[in-house]
C-alpha cells in the first residue's frame, strides 16, 4: 500500500471486457452497477474490478495487477478470462480530496461472439450487469439514465472511436513508462454560473491550464491525457463534460 500526503493509496485493477458482435461494427462491453451501499462510487456503472490482495503477487508488479483483474472479473461478472492476454490500457489515481484512494490500472480483454453468455453481476457488491457498445453507454449517461465516473467516461470515449474488430492490437501501444504515470484529477468546488452561492463539484484533469493553481495533490499530465476532456462538472447524480 502506497502513501502520499499522509493518505493510504491502494492498488486496484479493472478489466474492460470487449465482445465482438456478429455483423456489428462495434463490440459490446460488459459493465456492472456498484451497490448503493458501496463506500466508493455508489450506484456507478463500472467495469469489473477491485483492489489487489496479497495473494495476487508481489506488490506493484504487473503480474499482481493482472491476477487481480482476472480474479475480480470472475467475482463480479462470472466471466473467466482464463489465460487470454490482457492489454494494459490506462492508469488513474483517485483525487486527494477522496478519503479512499486507489491507483487503478485498466486492462482490456477480448471475447469471441459466443462467449460471455453467462455473465452476471454478483448481486452483492455489484448489480445490473449489462452488455452494450461504448457509444450506447455514453449516450445513456448524457440522457441521465446512468452514472459513469469520469475515468470510465474517458475509457469509453476512446473505445468508441474505432470499430476494434481487428482485436486488441488496435489499442494505442503506449510504453510501460507512459502507462505507469497515472492520470491524477483534482476535485474542487466552484461557484455556479447562475448562482455564486451555489457550489458545484468539478473534476479537472492535469492538462487543464488552471490545474496547477487548484487545490489538491497534483501530478504532470501523461501524454495520453491530452486527448481527453479537460473538465467534468457534476450534474445531478452524474458528470457531464465542462467546456
Tens of pLDDT, residue by residue over 231-241, are: 999 887 678 88
Considering the domain boundaries, does residue 234 fall inside one? no
Considering the domain boundaries, does residue 212 fall inside one? no
Considering the domain boundaries, does residue 143 fall inside one? yes
For 113-146, the pLDDT digits (tens) are 889 888 988 878 788 899 999 999 999 988 888 8
| Cell triple for 191 | 461557484
Nearest to 108 by CA among 69, 147, 152, 82: 69
Considering the domain boundaries, does residue 227 fall inside one? no
For 151-178, the pLDDT digits (tens) are 999 999 988 886 554 545 555 556 778 8
- The tally of domains found in the chain comes to 1
Considering the domain boundaries, does residue 202 fall inside one? no
Residue 212 half-sphere exposure toward CB, CA atoms < 13 A: 4
Percent over 70 (pLDDT), the chain: 88
- Domain residues for the domain of 30 are 2-183
Where residue 80 sits, what CATH number does that domain have?
A: 3.90.79.10
Reported pTM: 0.90
Mean of per-residue pLDDT scores for the chain: 87
Q: Are 106 and 85 in contact (CB under 8 A)?
A: no
Residues in CB range of 199: below 8 A, 6 or more apart: 189, 190, 191, 192
Amino acid at each position: 500500500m502506497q502513501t502520499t500526503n499522509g493518505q493510504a493509496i491502494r492498488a486496484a485493477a479493472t478489466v474492460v471486457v470487449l465482445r465482438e458482435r456478429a455483423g456489428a461494427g462495434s463490440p459490446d462491453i460488459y459493465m456492472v452497477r456498484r451497490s448503493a451501499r458501496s463506500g466508493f462510487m455508489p450506484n456507478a456503472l463500472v467495469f469489473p474490478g477491485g483492489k489487489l490482495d496479497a495473494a495476487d503477487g508481489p506488490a506493484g508488479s504487473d503480474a499482481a495487477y493482472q491476477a487481480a483483474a482476472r480474479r475480480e472479473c470472475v467475482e463480479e461478472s462470472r466471466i473467466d478470462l482464463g489465460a487470454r492476454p490482457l492489454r494494459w490500457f490506462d492508469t488513474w489515481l483517485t483525487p486527494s480530496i477522496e478519503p479512499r484512494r486507489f491507483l487503478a490500472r485498466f486492462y482490456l480483454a477480448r471475447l469471441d461472439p459466443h462467449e460471455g453468455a453467462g455473465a452476471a453481476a454478483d448481486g452483492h457488491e455489484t448489480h445490473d450487469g449489462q452488455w452494450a457498445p461504448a457509444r450506447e453507454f455514453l449516450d445513456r449517461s448524457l440522457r441521465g439514465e446512468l452514472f459513469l465516473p469520469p475515468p470510465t467516461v474517458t475509457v469509453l470515449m476512446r473505445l468508441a472511436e474505432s470499430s476494434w474488430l481487428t482485436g486488441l492490437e488496435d489499442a494505442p501501444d503506449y510504453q510501460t513508462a507512459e502507462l505507469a504515470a497515472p492520470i491524477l484529477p483534482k476535485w474542487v468546488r466552484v461557484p455556479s454560473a447562475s448562482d455564486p452561492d451555489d457550489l458545484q463539484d468539478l473534476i479537472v484533469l492535469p492538462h487543464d491550464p488552471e490545474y496547477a493553481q487548484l487545490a489538491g495533490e497534483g501530478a504532470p499530465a501523461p501524454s495520453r491525457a491530452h486527448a481527453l476532456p479537460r473538465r467534468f462538472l457534476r450534474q445531478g447524480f452524474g458528470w457531464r463534460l465542462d467546456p
